[in-house]
Amino acid sequence: MTIKRLILVCALTALAACTSGGLNRSAGGVYAPGVAGEGDIDGLIVGHRLMAAGEYQLALDAYTRAAGQQGLNVDTLSALGSANLRLGRLGQAERLLRRAVAEDAGFAAAWNNLGVILMEQGNGFTAEGRDRTAHAEKLLATRAGKTYSLTVLAGATLYSSAEPCAMCAGAIYWAGIGRVVFGQTEVALKAITGDNPENPTLDLPCAVVFEAGQRPTEVVGPLLEDEASALQADYWGSRG
């Protein structure tokens, strides 16, 4: 079994939390403050609204203005990283998120500025009675599918230290989780585990599994692969 720690993040819930400061918005639309009094407007709030509307470049512009006003702190760095991630600029996103983590390693929003953690899950090999199918992603997908609607999970992101295997990708798809972000690829994991009977790694990209489905599942990764690989290497080294 691979050693993984997963979190399931839902952007939808977090966006509701972002509105709690009393800002008004028109019915049926995404509210973003206009240019009047721009110096008093929090660019992070504007950016969050634009991210919700799918306007990622405009959100990045708003976050950039916020960084100019507030400086490059953990909030602005994580926001800039999130926007770049949505724009597919993985290298820039990784550099910004590294800086955010360096500012505050315990700041979860550095990994998903708009998200709140819905669930966490570790591997269940021992807890599930030495069940070789009790991978963390599969267990989390099962729990999530029982707990949340398809509408909620379509806006959720599953974060994993290693790419989900074919079995887990199938579980993620059937649960309806809309997005997966992973660190280390299955190919790189296989290079570490080899033919270890505890983890005969399936060398199949999870994107191939998702592409065979009838609803979209976004895949982002690999990210922070060196750190993710170190985690796996330490674990499998201790198993030798």
Q: Measuring CA to CA, how many Å separate 153 from each of 29, 33, 42, 79?
A: 22, 29, 29, 22
Tokens of 166: 């074919």
Query: Is 137 noted as a catalytic residue in this protein?
Result: yes
Judge contact between 120 and 5, C-beta under 8 A.
yes
Task: For residue 135, give both structure tokens.
Answer: 């991978």
Catalytic site residue from 55, 120, 128, 137: 137
Backbone angles phi, psi at 181, to 5 degrees: -125, 125
Please check whether residue 153 is in contact with residue 145, taking contact to mean a CB–CB distance below 8 angstroms: yes
- Catalytic positions: 137
